[in-house]
Amino acid sequence: MDLDAVTKQSALHAKPDGLTLQYGTAGFRTKAEHLDHVMFRMGLLAVLRSKQTKSIIGVMVTASHNPEEDNGVKLVDPLGEMLAASWEEHATSLANAEEQHLPRVLVDISEKAAVDLHQDAFVVIGRDTRPSSEKLSQSVIDGVTVLGGQFHDYGLLTTPQLHYMVFCRNSKGQYGKATAEGYYQKLSSAFVELTKQAFCSGDDHRTLKVDCANGIGALKLAEMKHYFSQGLSVQLFNDGTKGKLNHLCGADFVKSHQKPPQGIEMKANERCCSFDGDADRIVYYYRDADGRFHLIDGDKIATLISGFLKELLLEIGDGLSLGVVQTAYANGSSTRYLEEVMKVPVYCTKTGVKHLHHKAQEFDIGVYFEANGHGTVLFSKAAETKIKQLAKESEDEKRKAAKMLESVIDLFNQTIGDAISDMLVIEAILALKGLTVQQWDALYTDLPNRQLKVKVADRQVISTTDAERQVVKPPGLQEAINDLVKKYRLSRAFVRPSGTEDIVRVYAEADSQENTDSLAYEVSLAVFQLAGGIGERPQRGF
């Protein structure tokens, strides 16, 4: 490791004084102008991680659903997963090291992680369409090359595509071909195979309007759509030709504002969906005949998919376990419907994709979606082998169900949530079951819910347990919440500290919006009084 060369090169990517950043589930994210040194250093870290794992590592330059002025970076581990937690700590210490300490921190990481510095390193890089991404991507390359790593720059990719590329390369092509073309072919052929038996009345059922958030999803879907055009016609909106990335559009905007994006024309009962800026989240929606907007979020996506999988598993009858993983933010109606109507076991984890992903790996088939539309389905190796065997050997009905499951395995990007892959699975299921978007929406009715924030002097005064659904401290707060919840029908509420700022997030749901809003206000007041609230007291009517 040539530390003199690193020091020299690092001076060209100098760290601003006093800037401290934390590597979280989403990697690093902040204003683009503060990230040059971080990108260079993540190039360095990717080389060390590659040497340590003796595998190819990915670096993705994106800030997902954040505004266009922001940017960010995350590393992708060998099987296409998120970076291991212990290396998140290394990423944080490396990004925050002052210039003069950088060589020492690199040596520390190498020693702590037992990195063989003589091992070769290879890094693959992707970026989104932000104006700042190309230059920041070059800073990553500078970091990779100064430590003697080799690299392949894929240029513009969705985040899930980069995860796919990493897994393909490390599986020596067994998972798929590590090119954009390979990705398009793998997903499209699985979609065409799965929908072969779909009964469809009229073309309108198979047309989908897609809001691409003026992001990378538009470029990639435009390249891909002719591969599956016989089975599905997609019309692209907010394709980046005029609007700003994520501005008044995209999955996060639609979910948080509960209204359609700008730049898309919606007729009554037309199926529409929105991607986020790097195409790893998706939500669906439509307007009814009265012009009312209906959002179909990650909870309903998980319900549709797990119901379909359960039917196929009953058909093959081979005792494979199916589980759905949610967070405390999942609507109570979805949990009740899954458990009581569909008889599918539901498990709750702490907020954050890595917790959901980890829990989903405990099942033969694990389904997880956050309410924001980020999610996927994971198949264990044993389940894959079993399904492929049944698809070859079984009798007619069983073989047909196993072949459909085989296509579902190929359709899901099993490394991470992928808006394109999720969209194709949803469209295939709706076609096969002959469901309209309204029928899907009518599976169950969401309970009204409200989310609020309370400013506190120190968020660390609150600690939680039971997947963030119960408060352990401060004393008396959970008892106060329990008493408030008892006042309303079908109600629940929980509070949790933010991971990044001194605020406490409050979630409430009940049988009516009026009761939900009252409960949310009352719980916010309890937090303010018992957990050191600062600033203005919570008000009714928000």
Q: Which residue has the tokens 């005949």?
A: 289
Work out the number of other CB atoms within 10 angstroms of the CB of residue 229. Answer: 11
Cis amide linkage into residue 474, ω under 30° from 0: yes
List the end-to-end C-alpha distance of the chain, in Å, as a whole number.
56
Cα–Cα–Cα angle for 433, 436, 442, rounded to 5 degrees: 100
DSSP annotation string for 376-436: EEEE-HHHHHHHHHHHHHS-HHHHHHHHHHHHHHHHS-TTS--HHHHHHHHHHHHHHHT--
Nearest CA among 124, 118, 142, 138 for reference residue 48: 118
64 annotated ligand binder: yes
Which tokens sit at 122? 């290879």
Rounded Cα gap, residues 193 and 199, in angstroms? 14
Nearest CA among 359, 369, 365 for reference residue 380: 365
Cα–Cα–Cα angle for 44, 47, 53, rounded to 5 degrees: 140
Q: What Rg value do the Cα atoms of the chain yield, rounded?
A: 24
422 annotated ligand binder: no
Q: Which residues of 105-116 are buried (b: 16+ CB within 10 A; e: fewer)?
A: bbeebbeebebe
Rounded Cα gap, residues 106 and 24, in angstroms? 20
Rounded Cα gap, residues 173 and 366, in angstroms? 24
474 annotated ligand binder: no
3-state secondary structure of 504: strand
499 annotated ligand binder: yes
280 annotated ligand binder: yes
29 annotated ligand binder: no
Nearest CA among 111, 147, 119, 151 for reference residue 1: 147
352 annotated ligand binder: no
421 annotated ligand binder: no
Q: What letter would DSSP give residue 483?
A: H
Query: Which residue out of 64, 333, 421, 524 is catalytically annotated?
Result: 64
132 annotated ligand binder: no
Q: Is-contact 372 255, C-beta < 8 A?
A: yes
505 annotated ligand binder: yes
86 annotated ligand binder: no
Exposed, middle or buried by CB within 10 Å (0-12, 13-18, 19+), for 486?
exposed
The DSSP element (H or E) to which 108 belongs, if any, is: helix 102-112
401 annotated ligand binder: no
For residue 219, give Cα distances in angstroms to 30, 214, 236, 426.
Answer: 24, 9, 10, 21
Let me know if 171 is a catalytic residue. no
Contacting residues for 533 by C-beta, under 8 A, at least 6 apart: 454, 455, 456, 527
Q: Is-contact 113 51, C-beta < 8 A?
A: no
3-state secondary structure of 326: strand
Q: Is-contact 50 19, C-beta < 8 A?
A: no
Rounded Cα gap, residues 71 and 136, in angstroms? 9
441 annotated ligand binder: no
Rounded Cα gap, residues 364 and 379, in angstroms? 6
Q: Residues forming the annotated binding site for Mg(2+)?
A: 64, 276, 278, 280
Q: Residues forming the annotated binding site?
A: 64, 276, 278, 280, 370-372, 496-500, 505
- Point out the residues that are catalytic: 64
Q: Residues forming the annotated binding site for substrate?
A: 370-372, 496-500, 505
